[in-house]
Amino acid sequence: MGQKLVAKFAFLPPQNAPPPDTENATFLRTKNGYQFPVLWFVSHSSVEEHSSDTNAELDYTESQDDFSNSNSDLDSALEEEIKEVNLHAAEQIKHEMTNRFTIIFSHGNAESITLIYYWAKKFTEKTKTNMLLYEYSGYPYAEGECSEENTYDCAEAAYDFLVEKKGILPQNIVFFGHSLGSGPTVQLAITKECAGVILMSPLLSCMRTISKMSPGFDIFCNIQKVDKIHVPTLILHGQSDMIVSYSHGKTLFETIKKEFQYKLILIEEAGHNDIESNFEKIFYSEINAFLKHLELFEQKKKKSKKIKLKKEKIKNNENLTQNQSENDGFNKRNENENEKEKEKEKEKKKHKQKKQKYSESNDYISSLSNSFSENDGNYLIEKNNKITIIKAQKTRTDDSDFIKENTVKMPNIDQLIEKRYPEMDHDIVSLKINQFLVRECDSVMKNYFFLLDEEKQTKK
């Protein structure tokens, strides 16, 4: 309720504004469906600067016409089509927007886009820019009622028209607001992408123009938003302004983040509505210098972005290399650990096999000891877990001789054969037993002592 009351006294739409030229005006709609007019200006200086390109295209058109006329074989309809296409191309080049920047201008109170029509044309010529004027809801020839939100909606729709319909890049758009127009301009600056911001005779907020303190139902509270602006900002204010004190412009400028403070221009004798008319030299000089600064700022921004991307790329490559090295080292360590584990497993397996072999050998020797105790003969004897071969006086060169010799010397074995194998021939059984003992016990004994020595070393 309070904001509506403030808006009722804040907005002063002019009563006798002329209607917009239907040839130049375009009617847009806000998201709430309110229709409002916009005026689009393109500086003629850009066309003059590029007239050589246009003339070349026109020459091309004429040559195509000559070519068409010189070829009687061409169909007349085809000739007309060629002419139409070429003339259309020439017209496009003629009206091409070759200016670097496009201004979205938000006018002041008690003004309308038709009242500032001629000033806008002059501005585009002096600054070699394009300009879009848009009307506020509730103002002449615009539907809806005057309100802060409706004004923001009109500004947003005008911006979308430039970007989506006219194909203007956001980095080529500059927001320019005068007096009350500083409200929608600041709102655009914190919600939409742009190249820069110009504020002329701006206000802290509507209620602060009549009181230092702002009630809770204030509108266009620029002082609460300007610190969110992230593009270069120029502020112009007259020190003799009796409607909005120049302290408003000064405070706003000081509130903007330092890296985006371009310049604060305070003109001593200027009032609220005469900076652009009575102080043209200063006004256009500062505007053009600011636009030049925006070009340099954009170049610097692109360069910084490239450097940043390059640094990030280098850093990513370094991280990638480091990660690769770490991965390689990790993989190598894993491989080494795996190799060590394999070696350990191999050793364990080998040790297990040896231990099993030792156990089997031990069991085997124990079984021999059970079969041939100390009283059975003098061929094998076991004492203190050690096996000793005795009575092997002859060097073994032939197994059969050794067997025969020991068979004669071991009568107790024959007695054992009679007890265990009574049905078999004693000589054959004795021979096989002795053959087994001589051949097998020798190898078993060697392995047995080897395992005992290894076990002792392992325990140490």
For residues 158 and 135, what is the distance between their CA atoms, to the nearest angstrom? 9
Dist. CA 104–CA 158, nearest whole Å: 8
- For residue 164, what pLDDT is reported? 95
Quote the CA–CA distance of 54 and 143 in Å, as a whole number: 40
- Helix orientation angle between 117-127 and 280-371, rounded to the nearest 10 degrees: 70
Query: Of 69-73, 209-213, 456-460, which gets the smallest average pLDDT?
Result: 69-73
| Token representation of residue 411 | 């009568």
Tens of pLDDT, residues 240-273:
999 999 999 999 999 999 999 999 999 999 999 9
Residue 62 is predicted with a pLDDT of: 41
Q: Report yes or no: 236 and 201 within 8 Å, Cβ to Cβ.
A: yes
Percent of the chain whose pLDDT exceeds 70: 61
The rounded distance, in Å, linking the Cα atoms of 326 and 294 is: 46
Residue with tokens 């690769």: 324
State whether residue 259 is helix, strand or coil.
helix
> Which tokens is 17 given?
């504004």
Q: Coil, strand or helix: which one is 427? A: helix
The domain ranges of the chain are 2-50+96-278, 372-459
Whole-model pTM over 0.85: no
Query: 159 is written with which tokens?
Result: 């911006």
DSSP string across 286-343: HHHHHHHHHHHHHHHHHHHHHHHHHHHHHHHHHHHHHHHHHHHHHHHHHHHHHHHHHH
CA distance 360 to 443: 13
Q: Using the predicted structure, report yes or no on whether residue 364 has a pLDDT greater than 60.
A: no
CATH assignment of 2-50+96-278? 3.40.50.1820
* Cα–Cα distance measured from residue 50 to residue 314, given in angstroms and rounded to the nearest whole number: 42
Please provide the DSSP assignment of 89-145 as one string. Answer: HHHHHHT----S-EEEEE--TT--TTTTHHHHHHHHHHHT-EEEEEPPTTSTT--S-
Res 345: pLDDT: 82
pLDDT grade for 444, boundaries at 50, 70 and 90? very low
Q: What does the pLDDT look like over 332-356, one tens digit per residue?
A: 777 777 888 888 888 777 777 766 6
* Strands lying side by side in the sheet with 173-178: 25-29, 35-41, 130-134, 102-106, 173-178, 196-200, 233-238, 261-267
Identify any residues that bridge with 266 across adjacent strands, giving them in sequence order. 237
Phi and psi at 62, nearest 5°, equal: -65, -40
Say what the pLDDT of residue 77 is. Answer: 54
Listed residue (388, 352, 394) closest to 369, CA to CA: 388
| Residue 447: pLDDT over 80 | no
Asked if 150 and 185 count as a contact pair (C-beta separation under 8 A), the reply is no
Q: What is the C-alpha separation between 153 and 379, in angstroms, rounded?
A: 118
pLDDT one-digit tens code per residue, 98-154: 578 999 999 999 999 999 999 999 999 999 999 999 999 999 999 999 999 999 999
Out of 178, 272, 361, 430, the active site residue is 272
Q: Is 84 exposed, middle or buried (0-12, 13-18, 19+ CB in 10 A)?
A: exposed
> Is 241 tagged catalytic?
yes
Whether the predicted pLDDT of 289 surpasses 60: yes
Residue 179 annotated to the active site: yes
Distances (CA, A) of 57 to 42, 49, 67, 78, 373: 20, 15, 15, 20, 125
Higher pLDDT, 457 or 39: 39
Q: Give the best-scoring range by mean pLDDT among 295-299, 351-355, 412-416.
A: 295-299
Among residues 107, 241, 248, 361, the one annotated as catalytic is 241
Q: Whole-angstrom Cα distance, residue 191 to residue 440? A: 98
Whether 96 shows a pLDDT value over 50: the answer reads no
Question: How many residues in the chain?
Answer: 460
Do 160 and 38 form a contact (C-beta atoms < 8 A)? no
350: helix, coil or strand? helix
3-class secondary structure, 32: coil
Active-site residue, from 179, 205, 245, 430: 179
50 counts as catalytic: no
